[in-house]
Amino acid sequence: MRAAVMYGAGDVRIEHRPDPKVQQPTDAVVRVVLSCVCGSDLWPYASMPAAGTGRPMGHEFLGTVEETGSDVPGLKAGDLVVAPFTYCDNTCDYCARGLHMSCRNGGRYGFDGVDGGQGEAVRVPQAAGTLVKLPAGADSALLPSLLTLSDVMGTGHHGAVTAGVRRGDSVLVIGDGAVGLCAVIAAKRLGAEQIILMGRHTARTDLGREFGATNVVAERGEEGASRVRELTGGDGVGKVIEAVGTRQTLETALTAVDDGGAISRLGVPQYQDGPVGPSMIMRNITLTGGASHARAYIEQLLPDVLDGTINPGRVFDQGFSLDQVPQAYRAMADRRVLKALITL
């Protein structure tokens, strides 16, 4: 089969790789129908040291079950399924508590001999726990939105859930990338009344407005935080979803949040140390969030995707073939494309 492999910063290649086969009774092989490039793929694309052996890329995919091991109850060849961005058994004590990211038998695509999602097929470990059968045909117009359940929509939802967004809240979403935009959808879905989107890329913030953002703040840093305070009568917002991951955006979040508020971080932090000193204590600010338990959220969000209540697939603004994946990375890194959809 062919798949995308990264060999270093800026170096993504389409290569022939061995066809995946069932290796464990709990494996399934999925023929990929749709995949995409994640904002988090852009960090290694910017910084990965050149390596002789490449890393299979991609962790968001939707496809058709091709083959199942002997211990994959509930799935059979031909089923259309979506995969959360990490695999998991969905039965261990962590999964039972909804902490699928910490699954005792879980892992990541593209590591430890597991295929990446940006390729023709994927061997999925712990398939019965991981894959969710979709009540849709492979030709459904909903497929792009269903694909977002593998990561970006679940991640935005995780931000809103962990920030504790409730009906009537004022919420700040920092970042107009696909995760930030899905966080807008999620905050609106949970009843937020005021959703301030911080971003300066007009096409994206316009989509954010369609998704439910009530205000857009193009300014950054102190200036942006002041603007947020103005928009909230001076006190700041009760809930912040930080969907960028730099130290500066965390500082902005801390300046824009109201006393007693919560900041949920979704972006992988590009820093080791953050400003969590006395001011955060005196103001009773909570820092929460993390890597989304996407598997836990698929069933929660699926009905709203199926009935069109939410349409997160709109974050895909350009389609690519597998051969064009290197161009998709470049276009996203250059911010010419918001989120690249890969059609197999």
Closest by CA to 31, choosing from 8, 2, 4, is 2
Tokens coding 274? 């953050």
Per CB under 8 A, the list member of 21, 97, 133, 336 interacting with a second copy is 97
286 in contact with a second copy (CB under 8 A)? yes
Q: Decide: 264 and 243 in contact? Cβ < 8 Å.
A: no
Q: What are phi and psi of 168, to 5 degrees?
A: 90, -5
Helix 152-163, helix 178-189: angle, nearest 10: 50
Q: Decide: 173 and 243 in contact? Cβ < 8 Å.
A: yes
Least spacing, CB of residue 289 vs a second copy, in Å:
7
CA separation (Å) from 213 to 41, 141, 180, 204, 206? 26, 25, 11, 11, 9
Q: Smaller CB distance to a second copy: residue 50 or 281? A: 281
Least spacing, CB of residue 96 vs a second copy, in Å:
12
Least spacing, CB of residue 285 vs a second copy, in Å:
7
44 in contact with a second copy (CB under 8 A)? no
Per CB under 8 A, the list member of 162, 170, 215, 249 interacting with a second copy is 162
101 in contact with a second copy (CB under 8 A)? yes
Binders of a second copy in range 262-281 (CB under 8 A): 265, 268-269, 271-278, 280-281
Query: Which residue type occupies 33?
Result: V
Q: Smaller CB distance to a second copy: residue 239 or 265? A: 265
Q: Helix, strand, or coil here: 249?
A: helix
112 in contact with a second copy (CB under 8 A)? no
Residues that bind a second copy (CB under 8 A): 94, 97, 99, 101-102, 162, 259-260, 265, 268-269, 271-278, 280-291, 293
